[in-house]
Amino acid sequence: FLRTIPPKGKPRLEGADAMHAWVKVWCGRDAGWQEFDPTNGMRASNDHITVGYGRDYSDVAPIVGVLKTTGGQVGEQAVDVIPVAMEKV
């Protein structure tokens, strides 16, 4: 997931955060594994939340399976990523 940051002076839109993919590449012994978000032209940061690793979308699809039913169906999803303060233990 990617937590979105609104433009300066604009309110944060609840539910606007979304599934997103970025790459993790081996940059040699000195740098190790690094994560880059080419879509947004940036390095992955704390706003990038990893839920799985895969070679493509089908490896980490958030929903697997089939629902068979009768009648009309409507689905709506929204994601909201909110930082949580951690207590020191």
- What phi, psi does 7 have (nearest 5°)? -60, 155
- Long-range interactions of 38-44: CB distance < 8 A, separation 24+: 40/2
Residues with Cβ within 8 Å of 40's Cβ and at least 6 positions away in sequence, in order, are 2
Span 12-31, pLDDT tens digits: 776 667 778 889 999 999 99
Span 47-78, pLDDT tens digits: 888 888 888 877 887 776 777 778 887 777 77
- With CA atoms as reference, report the closest residue to 5 among 81, 56, 87, 85: 81
Read off the pTM: 0.60
Q: What total of structural domains would you count in the chain?
A: 1
Domain that holds residue 7: 1-56
Model confidence band, residue 39 (pLDDT cutoffs 50, 70, 90)? confident
In a domain, 18, yes or no: yes
What six digits make up the tokens of 74? 């409507």
The overall average pLDDT reported for the chain is 82
In a domain, 42, yes or no: yes
In a domain, 13, yes or no: yes
In a domain, 65, yes or no: no
In a domain, 26, yes or no: yes
In a domain, 79, yes or no: no
